[in-house]
Amino acid sequence: MQKVAVIGAGQVGSQTAFWLLLKKICEVVLIDISGDLAKGKALDLEDLGAGLGIDFNVKGTKDFSKIRDSDICIITAGLTRKPGMSREDLLKENKEIVKRICNKIKKLAPQSIVIVVTNPVDILTYFVFKNLGFSRNRILGMGSSLDTYRLKNLISKRLKVSIDCVESLVIGEHGKCMVPLFSKTYVNLIPIREILNKKDLDSLKEELLDRGKRIVESLGKGSAYLAPGFCCAEIVESILQNLKRTIPVSFYLEGEYRAKNVCIGVPCVISRKGVQNVVEIKIDKEEEQLFLEAVRFLKEYT
């Protein structure tokens, strides 16, 4: 089987491992500085597999050498947000953690595709890209896919329709500069701008921007992990099975969407190559302006 290393055995890491094992597409190695945590999560997952009637091929350890020759390395390690803390507040602490992980990946899994989940994800994806020196198609961050699912959910709840009726997309920074593309949002094939007025759409956007903060404040400790784990596993599945799904991920741009030298959320075709190509769709002027503002914001940290 193909091998996926999940670096960081916290809530997001263990949920990612669960979804991957449930899909039966790879073996999983859970790595954590706390070997007991990684081992305990792996043993628990094994027992869960038994209950589901599936052989979960998972190991938990603090031994970084176990990532050797992994097809994919997923970086979830790092501090999580606390109430009142922004994603930017995390940067200083998590940068050092991620730097140490990059050194291990370069040595032990130099052919792997790397998925960054640790926040602030766009800035750290850029940091990982520059540190590893891999081709850009092999470095991506999970962010906008989660924002897109959140938007679909909020629209579904507001309009009291099934999630299946909603088509939407979010690009930009995974944070306050995210850009919900209402020009590309449809409910039962009807453009959402024909259903909701600008005041309602602005309210929907504010609700989307506050979603992560609301989860953090409600949990009291830690941040979202169930949906992020699923999003990450979906990206991995598209890579390992060469599904070529179009998924919004944080990716290093070289002129696409009029942006260069920045990692930011855009729709990409995800295949065995990692990011096969960026999908450039036509967005309206206001959305383009907001996206370029997000680019400028992120460049302040690069």
Catalytic residue numbers read 174
Phi and psi (nearest 5°) for 43?
-65, -40
Q: Are 299 and 262 in contact, with CB atoms under 8 Å apart?
A: yes
Instruction: Count Cβ atoms below 10 Å from residue 139 Cβ, excluding itself.
Output: 25
Residue 172 · residue 290 · CB < 8 Å: yes
Listed in sequence order, the residues at least 6 apart from 202 whose beta carbon sits closer than 8 Å to its beta carbon are none
Residue 64 CB contacts under 8 Å (≥ 6 apart), including other chains: 31, 104, 108
Give the C-alpha separation, 46 to 50, whole Å. Answer: 6
Residue type, 7: I
**What whole-number distance in Å separates Cα of residue 146 and Cα of residue 14?**
17
Residues contacting 5, CB < 8 A, separation 6+: 28, 29, 31, 66, 67, 70, 72, 73, 74, 109, 112
Q: What is the largest CA-CA distance in the chain?
A: 55
Write the burial class of residue 55 (CB in 10 Å: 0-12 exposed, 13-18 middle, 19+ buried): exposed
301: CB partners within 8 A, 6+ apart:
88, 91, 120, 123, 126
Q: How far apart are CA 42 and CA 22, in angstroms?
A: 13
